[in-house]
Amino acid sequence: MTPMEVVDPVAATGLFGYAWLMIALPALGALLLLVFGRWIEKIGPYLAVLLIAGSFVVALLLFLQQLGSPADQRAVSVPLYTWFATGSWQIDVGLLVDQLSILFALLITGVGGLIHVYSLGYMAHDERRRRFFGYLNLFVAAMLTLVLADNYLVLFVGWEGVGLASYLLIGFWQHKPSAAAAAKKAFVMNRVGDFGMILAISTMLAMFGSSAFVDVNHGAPLLEGPWATVIGLLLLLGACGKSAQVPLQAWLLDAMEGPTPVSALIHAATMVTAGVYLVVRSHAIFDLSPDAQAAVVIVGTVTLLAGAWIGTAKDDIKKVLAGSTMSQIGYMMLAAGIGPAGYAFAIFHLLTHGAFKANMFLGAGSVMHGMNDDVDMRHYGALAKYLPLTFWTFGAGYLAIIGFPLTAGYFSKDHIIEAAFARSPLVGSLALLGAGVTAFYMTRLMLMTFGGRKRWVDGVHPHESPAVMTVPLIVLGALSLVAGAVMNSWIQGWLEPATGGHPHEVSLLPTVVGWATMIVVAAGVLVAWLVFGRRPIPAQAPAGNAITVAGRNDLFGDALNDALVVQPVMGMSRAAVANDARTIEGFVHTLSTGIAGFSVVGRGTQTGYVRSYALTMVLGVVAIGVVVILGLGG
């Protein structure tokens, strides 16, 4: 393995000194809304939107500045202050604004801002919406901390921050027991991943004496033995938790209990991509360990198929999209595991996915808005005529995700499949299969929601959403169509200094793999149309075969967790309780019973009669006298 050249960030000058504003603005919003909220109940939500917009403007200005700089001046480090210094460790808090993090900052503030605007309409009638916007701001601030940090420990602060915000937002409708349970489940399963993160960061501190990206990148090539693999696998565990990858995938489907804008912002566009960011950001580690890379590829491939499988079986529109999110993030992981050839494609797909998946989630929210919050697609049908704007924007997202030529997904996903074929024909074929299944379930979703006949329940009168909701849809729909073509030939060169890959030649004309992908996708669409487009869809879900049943039950992920983790732990705790009750308490009880019995005997001598005490004393004195006089004491 030849060590990669490491590009050090340059010191911050001019505008970059204000990079902290990106984080500070939404953090200020969260503080104002959550602490001083009562006085700004009315204007609070608008304030939140304004602050996110300000954050976006800062990110955009920095991005433009970077575009205008020479390539070796683009990565900028912005030291802020020293967090703590103890012994030989000094942890500095600073920001790293480089080619990778600025793209994330734009995605988070851009898509996040649109989702804030959309929420103004979606949450208009919720009496706790001021708090909702406070949580959204908190999330954005934490997520920006995660991607802008220049140090794994500071990244971890953001990592936990998004976990907290995600918990608060999934359980936002806390009066629903299912929402409260889903929030707890997400939090606990994320803890498992956080455990891996903590171990990874501790290992870095032990190995490099620092957790700053710069030190880790410089120190990684000097690692001995299996340490690179150890750190890589631990980071992968962390990434699995946050990005809902197998085996820590079960929380994402339940997380759909949260309000739909939350699903769009956190569980589709931004937070769940943190794992991909982590792997790409830690490329110095992964490049040194083919084993860890292979693990990333396996996790990504398994998840992309599992997510797609679940997506085909669900009737709940949000859960189909959740399965699809899992699947698409699986693609990103797969690309990130391929190594330098894949990093740029992982980020490329992440960005386009952020746009089109947020678009579709918000579209699903718009549909639910019109259908009295019903999420069952079997109660939809023929909505294209009643929700035209939602239909057209959703359609744009649909074309993007299945990879219709020249839309966003066409570019980003094809590159990943090509890279997968270059890595190994098996992984490539599975990724290709996933693309076909994606086309199948998304076509099914479109046909069940917008096509066919009405299957509405009584009293439902679908209506188009207000402009405050449809404008973000239109913007995101437009991005879904053009983002891929805009970034296609640019992103690899842009990311090269940050990820160390060397640009491949990409063309607008499809390659052999590209043609194959198109054929598989077309087959998926055709099969879906044959099954769901030609005959009416039953309002009751049919029993289905084993494959469908497995998909409906999330591939028995919960049952597996229960059998493999919950039951053994419960068994262990029961054994501990039994041990405590029998062995330990038994010993103590025997001891105390013995002492109590002894004291009953001893109490007999205490008669309470003064004269008997006097007798005892006299006998005692006589006994002592006898001993003294006879000289028995020696």
CB of 582 to another protein, least distance (A): 38
Closest to another protein by CB, 490 vs 613, is 613
Closest to another protein by CB, 545 vs 599, is 599
Residues 115 and 264: beta-carbon distance below 8 Å: yes
**How far, in Å, CA of 319 to CA of 360, rounded?**
12
Nearest to 241 by CA among 212, 177, 198: 198
Closest to another protein by CB, 508 vs 615, is 615
CB of 615 to another protein, least distance (A): 5
Closest to another protein by CB, 35 vs 630, is 630
Site mask, another protein, residues 552-591, x = CB under 8 A?
Answer: ----------------------------------------
Residues 6+ apart with CB under 8 A from 416: 331, 332, 334, 335, 342, 345, 346, 349, 431
Residues 6+ apart with CB under 8 A from 438: 308, 311, 324, 327, 328, 401, 402, 403, 521, 524
Asked if residue 38 binds another protein (CB under 8 A), the reply is no
- Which residue type is seen at 310? I
Asked if residue 608 binds another protein (CB under 8 A), the reply is yes
- Choose one: 189-197, 255-263, 340-348, 603-611; the region binding another protein (CB under 8 A): 603-611
CB of 614 to another protein, least distance (A): 5
- Choose one: 279-287, 477-485, 575-583, 608-616; the region binding another protein (CB under 8 A): 608-616
CB of 626 to another protein, least distance (A): 15
- Choose one: 456-464, 511-519, 528-536, 610-618; the region binding another protein (CB under 8 A): 610-618
Closest to another protein by CB, 426 vs 618, is 618
Asked if residue 614 binds another protein (CB under 8 A), the reply is yes
By CB atoms closer than 10 A (0-12, 13-18, 19+), residue 453 is exposed
CB of 630 to another protein, least distance (A): 18
Residues 462 and 372: beta-carbon distance below 8 Å: no
Asked if residue 11 binds another protein (CB under 8 A), the reply is no
Closest to another protein by CB, 556 vs 613, is 613
Site mask, another protein, residues 287-316, x = CB under 8 A?
Answer: ------------------------------
Site mask, another protein, residues 113-132, x = CB under 8 A?
Answer: --------------------
CB of 572 to another protein, least distance (A): 51
Binders of another protein in range 615-634 (CB under 8 A): 615, 618
Closest to another protein by CB, 534 vs 603, is 603
Binders of another protein in range 205-234 (CB under 8 A): none
Kindly tell me which residue out of 8, 508, 607, 625 binds another protein, with binding defined by CB under 8 A.
607
Residues 528 and 444: beta-carbon distance below 8 Å: yes
CA angle 195, 198, 202 (to 5 degrees): 140
Nearest to 303 by CA among 265, 281, 276: 276
Kindly tell me which residue out of 38, 125, 461, 611 binds another protein, with binding defined by CB under 8 A.
611
**How far, in Å, CA of 5 to CA of 180, rounded?**
48
Cis status, amide bond into 45, omega within 30 of 0: no
Across 336-351, b (16+ Cβ under 10 Å) vs e yields bbbbebbbbbbbbbbb
- Choose one: 55-63, 371-379, 519-527, 601-609; the region binding another protein (CB under 8 A): 601-609
Residues 54 and 25: beta-carbon distance below 8 Å: yes
**Between the CA of residue 310 and those of 88, 322, 380, 528, 533, what are the distances in Å?**
49, 9, 20, 15, 20
Across 566-601, b (16+ Cβ under 10 Å) vs e yields eeeeeeeeeeeeeeeeeeeeeeeeeeeeeeeeeeee
Closest to another protein by CB, 175 vs 611, is 611
- Choose one: 56-64, 277-285, 288-296, 611-619; the region binding another protein (CB under 8 A): 611-619
Closest to another protein by CB, 581 vs 628, is 628
Nearest to 89 by CA among 238, 217, 202, 219: 202
Asked if residue 609 binds another protein (CB under 8 A), the reply is yes
CA angle 146, 152, 155 (to 5 degrees): 15
Closest to another protein by CB, 2 vs 606, is 606
Count of residues touching another protein (by CB under 8 A): 9
CB of 612 to another protein, least distance (A): 8
Nearest to 532 by CA among 590, 470, 463, 449: 449
Residue 92 phi, psi (nearest 5): -100, 140
Structure-token match 């109490």, residue found? 603
- Choose one: 22-30, 296-304, 497-505, 600-608; the region binding another protein (CB under 8 A): 600-608
Asked if residue 601 binds another protein (CB under 8 A), the reply is no
DSSP codes joined into one string, 248-293: S-HHHHHGGGS-HHHHHIIIIISGGGHHHHHHHHTHHHHTT-HHHH
CB of 570 to another protein, least distance (A): 51
Residues 6+ apart with CB under 8 A from 35: none
Dihedral of the CA atoms 112, 117, 123, 129 (nearest 10)? 70
Runs of H (alpha helix) within 69-151? 99-122, 129-148
Binders of another protein in range 246-285 (CB under 8 A): none
Residues 126 and 161: beta-carbon distance below 8 Å: no
Closest to another protein by CB, 534 vs 611, is 611
Alpha-carbon Rg for the chain, nearest whole angstrom, is 31
- Choose one: 268-276, 510-518, 532-540, 605-613; the region binding another protein (CB under 8 A): 605-613
Closest to another protein by CB, 88 vs 605, is 605
Closest to another protein by CB, 563 vs 615, is 615
**How far, in Å, CA of 39 to CA of 46, rounded?**
14
Asked if residue 610 binds another protein (CB under 8 A), the reply is yes
Closest to another protein by CB, 592 vs 607, is 607
Residues at the interface with another protein (CB under 8 A): 606-611, 614-615, 618
